[in-house]
Amino acid sequence: MNPTESLVATPYAAFDLLHTSIWICDLQTLQIQWVNQAVLELWQTQSLDQLCSRDLSVITNFDPLRLSEYMAQFQQGKTVQERWRFYPPEQPIDLECYCSSIPSAEGQSVMLIEGRIIDRVQEDLLRLQSATLEACANSIVITNRQGIIQWVNPAYEKLTGYTYAESIGKTPGELVQSGAHPQEFYRDLWRTILAGQVWHGEVINRRRDNSLYIEEMTITPVYDRHHEISHFIAIKQDISERKLMEERRAQAEAALRQSEVRFRGIFETAAIGIGLTTLEGDLLDCNSATLQMLGYSREELQHLNFRQYSHPDDLEEDLRLYEELLAGRCDSYQMEKRYIRKNGQVFWAGSRWQSSGMNRENRSTPLEC
């Protein structure tokens, strides 16, 4: 009985039930000893003789010089996964190969190769997804369940200053943790993601050059086919500039509030009457001195236009100058005019109008003193 016949009679024949390609070859010579029916269909033949005793490196792109690497992995009981190109008669085909060492019928070790046809549509989709992650402007980090970095994109390298090679195999804590957060912060983060929940928050981290930055981070658990958490994907956005702008805006708003308080204090305690009007001349606000001069309550004056408490004989000139102010042809004007108190009493007073820095086109609020 020749070697081919003896192998056909062995349990290798059970591999014919599989839809994946199965190859058995000698570990010393790389000669093919047996293939299953899926391989024969791939080669469009029914004869084992066309493939058996052929050199594996002749019908694939496998480099025989790498056999020692495979042998070292086999001795540790490991399976080697690589993509090989096979050359059947019609056209080349790429297979995802899983290589391991098993005993032959004679008790010697042989190499078992399981080749799986690559789903091109799925492969293109995965390639597109990978390219998207690579091109993403946000920093992306993928870790295993223990937090060991498996992959980072170029945006992460730019943000942190650490290269891909420097990051792989490390934890984010080893690279960028700043010490700005208490340990309870990180314990809460880990409790959340290990429970299968998404964590979102802001983190102060440290670049390779020791400069600090603030990032908005979302960590999402990834599950394997057994529905167990296998990896975590962290998407990070540098918000340092935004936080700085928010701080500056808060400072400016606080300064404005303080300025308004000071202005209100001066406004209310001034010895002269001061009023704010709309462009149409309706009173918006006034101080206590104005109320005392005109004899109205604050609520009464807020329903009046300055024309109503100005003497009609002075109104024509007053309105001419007021139009000049609204048109932006002057910043202020002053005149002596007569006012009419609530009780009908007429009195003279110096009047000075000035714009608050705007005009009719951008809706200013004139100020009368």
Structure confidence at residue 4 (pLDDT): 39
Q: What class does CATH assign to 267-368? A: alpha beta
Distance between CA atoms of residues 173 and 128, nearest Å: 30
Q: Which residue has the tokens 């190109």?
A: 85
The residue written with tokens 């462009």 in the block is 279
**Residues 109 and 98 sit within 8 Å (Cβ to Cβ):** no
Scan for tokens 């608050």, then name that residue.
Answer: 356
Q: Read off the tokens for 149.
A: 């970095």
**Distance of alpha carbon 320 from alpha carbon 129, whole angstroms:** 71
What distances in angstroms separate CA 190 from CA 145, 183, 194, 238, one per listed residue? 10, 11, 6, 21
pLDDT band of 127, cuts 50, 70, 90: low
Q: How many Cα atoms occupy the beta-carbon half-sphere of 273 within 13 Å?
A: 18
Q: CA-to-CA distance for 159 and 166, rounded, in angstroms?
A: 14
Tell me if 219 sits within 8 A of 232, measured CB to CB.
yes
Residue 42 is predicted with a pLDDT of: 87
Overall fold of domain 3-119: Beta-Lactamase (3.30.450)
Question: Tens of pLDDT along 273-330?
Answer: 888 888 888 988 899 999 999 999 999 988 899 999 999 999 999 999 999 888 888 8
DSSP codes, 326-368: HTTS-SEEEEEEEEE-TTS-EEEEEEEEE-SS--GGGT---EE
Mean pLDDT check: name the lowest of 14-18, 185-189, 201-205.
14-18
Numbered ranges of CATH 3.30.450.20 in the chain: 3-119, 134-243, 267-368
Residue 173: which pLDDT band, with cuts at 50, 70 and 90? very high
* CA–CA distance, 271 with 154 (Å, rounded to integer): 66
Across 12-16, 26-30, 128-132, 222-226, the highest mean pLDDT is recorded for: 26-30
End-to-end CA distance of the chain: 121
The CATH number for 134-243, chosen from 3.30.450.20, 3.30.420.40, 3.30.300.180, 3.40.50.2300, is 3.30.450.20
pLDDT at residue 119, rounded to an integer = 65
